[in-house]
């Protein structure tokens, strides 16, 4: 799984003002991040607003991403939710041609036990035709995957990594200390990328890399000094990205950069307020 070391970018799904998918902007975004040096694409993750896309739209977005990428970098596909049976069926029905790995967020809202999380992921990994990466983000799922749960799942032959967005470095260290040698510990927090790499992590699945692929190439592949200075340069922008929810901030930033034509998001999210948009525009010009 060397393909998923370094920087993966959690691609946004650009929309027109009428909320239809803007495939021209998607092509421009993919060219931007690939030419900027990202190591792989993550398509239809939570940052891609997969929860508000129809099944037909998901197929269209995946096909477009594969076509526009044209094999330049590997592709990881997001399929996640809180209905295990439905996800098993979705995985079975999905065409994984051109897809190298599957990313699946821990079940949200239900707040399952650790045993339930293990059973959930085991069911998905058993049917996935490609290796699977776990995703722990308790700030949104309201259910933390413990290090013991991650380590137990790490021994499943089809589970190859964990995107860790708990923000808990001690928990990350517990995983790193005992995980299989070839298991991927990936940061789910942009600013914690280098600290997680310093304890044995392999890189990041990043939101801000949509806008700053070259900077994240430095963060994941550059010297300690260069990486640190680059992270410091993104502190102000990172604080703005999540004030009104994700991907509200990153879409607004991409709009100001001229990479996408509209910063529209789908309900229940709202596009960036004028106040936030002004702050993001100013930070981008600094």
Q: Which residues are catalytic?
A: 135, 163
Long-range CB contact pairs, 154-159, < 8 A, 24+: 154/179, 154/180, 154/183, 155/180, 156/121, 156/122, 156/125, 158/125, 158/126, 158/128, 158/131, 158/132, 159/121, 159/125, 159/131, 159/132, 159/133, 159/134
> What are the distances in angstroms from CA 180 to CA 104, 129, 130?
20, 21, 19
Alpha carbons 178 and 167: distance in angstroms, whole number: 19
Supply φ then ψ for residue 133, to 5 degrees.
-115, 130
Rounded to whole angstroms, how far apart are CA atoms 154 and 175? 9
Instruction: Report yes or no: 41 and 69 within 8 Å, Cβ to Cβ.
Output: yes
Residue 139: in which H helix or E strand, if any?
A: helix 138-141
Question: Would you say 51 and 266 are in contact if contact means Cβ atoms under 8 Å apart?
Answer: no
């Amino acid at each position: 799984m060397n393909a998923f070391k370094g920087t993966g970018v959690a691609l946004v799904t650009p929309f027109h003002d009428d909320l239809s998918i803007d495939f021209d902007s998607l092509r421009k975004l993919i060219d931007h991040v690939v030419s900027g040096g990202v190591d792989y694409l993550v398509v239809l993750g939570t940052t891609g607003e997969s929860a508000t896309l129809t099944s037909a739209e998901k197929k269209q977005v995946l096909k477009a991403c594969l076509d526009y990428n044209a094999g330049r970098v590997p592709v990881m596909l997001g399929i996640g939710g809180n209905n295990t049976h439905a996800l098993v069926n979705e995985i079975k029905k999905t065409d994984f041609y051109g897809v190298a790995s599957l990313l699946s967020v821990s079940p949200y809202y239900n707040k399952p036990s650790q045993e339930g999380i293990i059973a959930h992921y085991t069911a998905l990994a058993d049917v996935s035709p490609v290796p699977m990466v776990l995703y722990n983000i308790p700030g949104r799922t309201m259910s933390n995957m413990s290090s013991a749960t991650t380590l137990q799942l790490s021994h499943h032959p089809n589970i190859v990594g964990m995107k860790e967005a708990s923000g808990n470095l001690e928990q990350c260290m517990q995983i790193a200390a005992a995980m299989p040698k070839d298991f991927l510990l990936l940061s789910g927090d942009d600013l914690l990328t280098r600290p997680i790499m310093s304890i044995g992590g392999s890189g990041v699945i990043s939101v801000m890399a949509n806008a700053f692929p070259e900077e994240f190439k430095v963060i994941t592949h550059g010297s300690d000094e260069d990486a640190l200075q680059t992270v410091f340069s993104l502190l102000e922008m990172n604080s703005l990205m999540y004030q009104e929810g994700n991907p509200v901030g990153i879409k607004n930033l991409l709009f100001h950069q001229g990479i996408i034509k509209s910063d529209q998001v789908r309900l229940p999210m709202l596009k960036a307020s004028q106040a936030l948009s002004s702050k993001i525009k100013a930070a981008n010009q600094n």
